[in-house]
Each structure stands twice: as structure tokens, then as C-alpha cells.
Amino acid sequence: TLTRLPPLDTDTLMPESACLHRDAQGLVHAVVLGQEGQAQQWVLHQGQAHLLRRLAMPPGAERCEVDDASGTMFLLEPAVGLWAYGFTQDAPMTRQLVARVAPHGPLPEDAEVLAVGPSWVSVLSGDGRKALVWTRQRLGAWQASAPVALPRAADALISETAARATRLWWRDADTQRWSARTMTPPAGAAVPREAVPFVLP
């Protein structure tokens, strides 16, 4: 069931895109990316939107996704690479470079499509025939995993996690039909932590 969330009054911030996140308390957050590295984090609760904080992001960043299980936000920075941000509302944001843009790394220069799952992130290759995958290791570093070869060129990715199984879905660029495969974490991959329960005062 889709539920309409309250509108956001971003004031002078001109939105380029946004991504949603549900934290360990079950509260819905929205990160709105604007021009020149401006961004806002909102919490949406009981039919109201509250501005939580203003954020400084890389200029030109127009795509983000959040892994709810680990509280990690992934952001594509043009001409630089893919960043992983520690994303909890009660701690300073820290970031870690997952992959650099070609020719300094394997990330396509025009990368725009990404999907996230428990302890992994995937980006669509430039020709749409592969899903490049990086996995978080137990000590926190990100490591490239074997890419997922797609039978035909795709134009969209999305992940689905249910009953301890994670699937990566892709959409055929020609037929617009969706296909999926189960993602198996490689050896050494970090195990998603169980959520710590919150006790409200």
C-alpha cells in the first residue's frame, strides 16, 4: 500500500532528487539533493515534515540511495566516484570512497543507476550489460565482487530483501520487463547487524 507523505518546503533549495530512508525507530527520512552541493535531511512523522539538518554534499551529485539495515547512504559524485556515508541522525556524517570513476577505477563515467542491499551496492555498467557489485567486508572496507552478467541491456536496477534472501532486479531496456537473480554474499562479507531496539522516554 502506498502512503502519501507530507510535502517538503525546501525554501531556497532547488531540489534535483531525493532518497528515502527508514531508521531503526521506524521513522521515515528524506534526503533532498540540491544544486551546488546543498542538501537537506527531513524526518516525516505523524503527517508532518520536520527539517532535521542541512548537509554539505559534493556539487553535481544527483543520485543517492540508502541501505536501511546498515544506515548507509550511497551517493554518486560526478567525475569522482561512489561514496558510502554513515547516515544516522544523531552522529556526524562520515564518508568512505567505494569506487573511483574511470580511468582511475571501474565505475562508468556516466553512472546514474544504482541499487543497494544488505552490505552491498550495485551500479549499472555503461553498456547496461553488467551490474557491477561492491561488498562491505567485516572490517568495513569495500571490495569489488564478481559482476552480474545480464542477458540484455538494462536501464534500471532495484533490490528486494525478504525472508533473509536478497534479489537484484533489472529492467530490460527494450521490452521494459523485469528479471531477477538471488544475491549470495561472498566469503568475508559483513553480516548485517540486527537493529538495536529504541526505548522511548
Please, which pLDDT band fits residue 191 given cuts at 50, 70 and 90?
low
pTM given for the model: 0.86
Q: Is the backbone of residue 174 left (phi > 0), alpha (psi -120 to 50) or beta? A: alpha
Q: Which of 87, 118, 114 is nearest to 23 (CA)?
A: 87
Residue 64, judged by CB atoms within 10 A of its CB (0-12, 13-18, 19+), counts as buried
Tell me: pLDDT of 50 over 90: yes
- Residues 98 and 74: their CA atoms lie apart, in Å, by 9
Q: What distance in Å separates the CA atoms of residue 104 and residue 6, rounded to the nearest whole number? A: 42
Count of CB atoms situated within 10 Å of the CB of 58: 17
183 pLDDT tier (thresholds 50, 70, 90): confident
- Are 174 and 157 spatial neighbours (Cβ–Cβ below 8 Å)? no
Task: For 98-126, write each residue's pLDDT tens digit.
Answer: 999 989 988 888 888 889 988 889 999 88
Question: What residue has cell string 529504541?
Answer: 198
The label of the residue with cell 549470495 reads 184
Please give the torsion angle defined by the CA atoms of residues 48, 53, 55 and 60, in that order, rounded to the nearest 10 degrees: 20
